[in-house]
A = this chain, B = another copy of it.
């Protein structure tokens, strides 16, 4: 994954990733367990949380469902 993202795009992916990480920790789920529940590889989940992957909306939906939050609420989370 050596795609070049604009600063704005990169920031958006990082925001998604940090929201995933924050919400995952909130429900005491390990990265490995989240990956398992979402049918993705653990290393892939790691890249998502670091904002390195431009995932599809269906992968995002699966993650958000697992994190037990509404999609609109997910995008309101301001994780650091």
Contact = CB atoms under 8 A, between A and B. Distances in A.
Interface of A: 5, 9, 12-13, 16, 54-58, 60-61, 70-76
Instruction: Specify how many copies of this chain sit in the oligomer.
Output: 2
Given A72-B72, A72-B75, A73-B72, A56 B58 contact: no
Contacts of A70: 75
Contacts of A71: 75
A4 to B, nearest CB: 12
Contacts of A57: 12-13, 16, 54-57, 60
A69 to B, nearest CB: 11
Contacts of A9: 58, 61
